[in-house]
Structure 1
């Protein structure tokens, strides 16, 4: 170990290199790749992947890479001790640091659904960081791989339909995968610290530095560490890290890896010279700006792209099917369409005649009140009383909609945001999933089965972590099975939602289809203030194209 304090002169000016070759552990799309982009910002960079950290060091030492970027510690798992040893034995020095938030996402080949996945591949550390989510899906077999990004790349290259990967968002973007579950990590306050490494002989260390990283040994005497730390404190040094590691071949002797920050009152060389007599040996590991606070943004692609909120949201299911049907019909095939419930009969003649009369009135073509005209809200309130036995205040508990789909999206945008979760039925209406994702929330599927009469299995849901669930979409009578929920089940559902503080939203456009006793979630005891219900005239009155819908519930929710 060299116990001198270096005074290094540059042999090469790195700033003019275009692009800079950066060695990282792992592959493009990894957290190391993200940290590199965060550090270098808009500077062009070529990534040199290394299978392991020793290979990363070799790429920089040999000159194949201009510099390297290496993880050194994690806020949850602690220091990566082996990397300190590698750095100490190398001809490299740290010239910068990056703190990167670690967020894990579940990604798949586009269009694959969660229930189709059989295996989840990722680095062991990433899998360990997502234990809570993975325990909620015990059918998934966990496969440990050498890198998060490599797991994503293998799915893309093999077009694997039954395999998912856990990794950073950049991996999904880089390899064209779809994120179906965001932020599956157990702890969102998880950061990894990376060091930027250059060859010592090519770096001119600054006289003033925000942070200094040093490795030293101490004589085996009482109070030796106390004396050194006291001297540093007296010089104005603020200790930010201390880590001891055994010295190989010298039992019970230790290296001390220390980071500290300094004000402008004393230079780092002067500080180390002052404490040098108290140490056995000393090696400078790095001198750099603290925290690399100048986290320049990743260069923005100048091409016009859709907002990131659309990531993972595919073409509307029924639009895709109707396009396929139209194509088959153009090719001369006769199609029986059992898909979207669009009526093939007109509304009652009295309804169309009333529309014709209204359309001839001057005021019918003006802007309408934002909450709907009072007569319409009163009619909707009376309709609920007549058919469901539910009393609604037309002034505050009914909101007319341009079809119930408008309500689905407005509900999601009103009550959901990033970090929230929403329970979504499978099988179920695709718009629930799309609206949830557009709002920035995460969809959590609950499976419906014939054995349970296509109703939610509340006992199974009770065993899950529902701490982040804010909303639950339900749809009874159910599309596509036609299953109906009884008033007794609605009361159980309301009780479940109350226990967990979940907003229940029932989509009820099929209330009158093959159903002799129309039922509303709002008729269940205790539903006040925790339930919303969507309804429309599209299916029941052959008026899908008229776009007449409504939302009902407590005034505070409306």
Structure 2
């Protein structure tokens, strides 16, 4: 007949295995942290964590034990996030203005453990990331009252950086009682965020391109996007600085661009569009 020492020895054996697996898990978290730093991604993604818990808890057959396992796996995620936060404390994020601005609030929200560098203009911040001086630049894309931020869009079209995150900051509009002023900020980094090929329901992407100056050229582009099942959230045009009376186009759409449909769509677009660029993927 077993006694309590036998049970304790069994637990000790399990704890030894768990210690080895725990160290292995955090070593993988170290690699994930490096990837997130290179791609300017936030440490935590609540939707991903909730989905993981939902799937993992089904592995526990005992209904009485299952809620305790949920607490265990969430605590493990907290520890992993804390470890990644420690590793990412050296990340440098550029933003525009001072600590009272929406740009700072957005940067702080996306990268709470980073070091922040305040700059005065978009070009300096953008080129600072391109040169490696900063890991990321948080810049405004559009405002609900004043529209797109043209200088940032031009940098996005001309430059080499990618958008990996977008955050919306809302505040009361100055001088317009009751109005809400919302600005969407993008995190620009040197690496493109490549989503899983299966993706998630809320994946989005941005592309920029030019088309030939001929009848139906833009319509053909839009038809290709629609034929592959992508819903366009916005379509804008901006003048090309290098060619008078010519324009480039900006499209933001919903869907996973890294899926088979997305890859086929990009291939078809590249046959009829010049300067086609996948600017970023995010959710």
Q: Provide TM-score, normalisation by structure 1.
A: 0.33
Deviation at 1:249, TM superposition (A): 3.2
Inter-partner Cα distance in structure 1 for 2:175 and 2:247: 35
Aligned match of 2:122: 53
In 2, are the aligned partners of 1:131 and 1:186 still within 8 Å (CA)?
Answer: no
Inter-partner Cα distance in structure 2 for 1:234 and 1:267: 10
Corresponding position: 1:217 with 2:210 = yes
- Which digits, 9 at most, give the CA deviation of each residue in 1:236-266, with x for residues without a partner? 1110111101112322211001111115964
Inter-partner Cα distance in structure 1 for 2:121 and 2:264: 36
Alignment of 1:263-412 (within 5 A): 266-289=260-283
Secondary structure (helix, strand or coil) at the match of 1:281 reads: strand
Aligned match of 2:75: none
Aligned match of 1:400: none
Deviation at 1:90, TM superposition (A): 2.3
Corresponding position: 1:20 with 2:91 = yes
Inter-partner Cα distance in structure 1 for 2:251 and 2:193: 21
Q: 2:252 aligns with which of 233, 250, 259?
A: 259
Deviation at 1:232, TM superposition (A): 0.8
Rg bigger for which structure?
Answer: 1
In 1, are the aligned partners of 2:224 and 2:265 still within 8 Å (CA)?
Answer: no
Alignment of 1:463-502 (within 5 A): none
In 2, are the aligned partners of 1:130 and 1:186 still within 8 Å (CA)?
Answer: no
Aligned match of 1:330: none
Inter-partner Cα distance in structure 1 for 2:241 and 2:134: 30
Alignment of 1:448-463 (within 5 A): none
Corresponding position: 1:83 with 2:152 = yes
For the structure 1 residues 92 and 233, does the alpha-carbon distance in structure 2 shift closer, same or farther, using more than 3 Å as the test? same
Inter-partner Cα distance in structure 1 for 2:124 and 2:274: 30
Q: 1:36 aligns with which of 107, 111, 126?
A: 107
Aligned match of 1:348: none
Inter-partner Cα distance in structure 1 for 2:171 and 2:135: 26
Q: 1:131 aligns with which of 141, 166, 175?
A: 175
Aligned match of 1:206: 195
Aligned match of 2:224: 231
Inter-partner Cα distance in structure 1 for 2:158 and 2:216: 28
Q: Cα RMSD between the aligned structures?
A: 2.3
Inter-partner Cα distance in structure 2 for 1:281 and 1:57: 20
Inter-partner Cα distance in structure 2 for 1:205 and 1:270: 16
Inter-partner Cα distance in structure 2 for 1:29 and 1:19: 23
In 1, are the aligned partners of 2:88 and 2:114 still within 8 Å (CA)?
Answer: no
Inter-partner Cα distance in structure 2 for 1:230 and 1:268: 14
- Which digits, 9 at most, give the CA deviation of each residue in 1:362-386, with x for residues without a partner? xxxxxxxxxxxxxxxxxxxxxxxxx
Aligned match of 2:20: none
Aligned match of 2:74: none
Q: 2:243 aligns with which of 250, 268, 272?
A: 250
- Which digits, 9 at most, give the CA deviation of each residue in 1:126-149, with x for residues without a partner? xxx4234xxxxxxxxxxxxxxxxx
Secondary structure (helix, strand or coil) at the match of 1:29 reads: coil
- Which digits, 9 at most, give the CA deviation of each residue in 1:192-244, with x for residues without a partner? 111111113xx452244611111100111111111111111110111011110
Structure 1 segments of 4+ aligned residues over 6 angstroms from their partners: none
Secondary structure (helix, strand or coil) at the match of 1:227 reads: helix
- Which digits, 9 at most, give the CA deviation of each residue in 1:57-79, with x for residues without a partner? 13222322211111010111110
Inter-partner Cα distance in structure 2 for 1:92 and 1:223: 30
For the structure 1 residues 236 and 266, does the alpha-carbon distance in structure 2 shift closer, same or farther, using more than 3 Å as the test? farther
- Which digits, 9 at most, give the CA deviation of each residue in 1:114-172, with x for residues without a partner? xxxxxxxxxxxxxxx4234xxxxxxxxxxxxxxxxxxxxxxxxxxxxxxxxxxxxxxxx
For the structure 1 residues 39 and 239, does the alpha-carbon distance in structure 2 shift closer, same or farther, using more than 3 Å as the test? same
Q: Provide TM-score, normalisation by structure 2.
A: 0.63
Inter-partner Cα distance in structure 2 for 1:59 and 1:69: 12
Inter-partner Cα distance in structure 2 for 1:204 and 1:232: 20
Secondary structure (helix, strand or coil) at the match of 1:65 reads: coil
Corresponding position: 1:63 with 2:132 = yes
Deviation at 1:46, TM superposition (A): 1.3
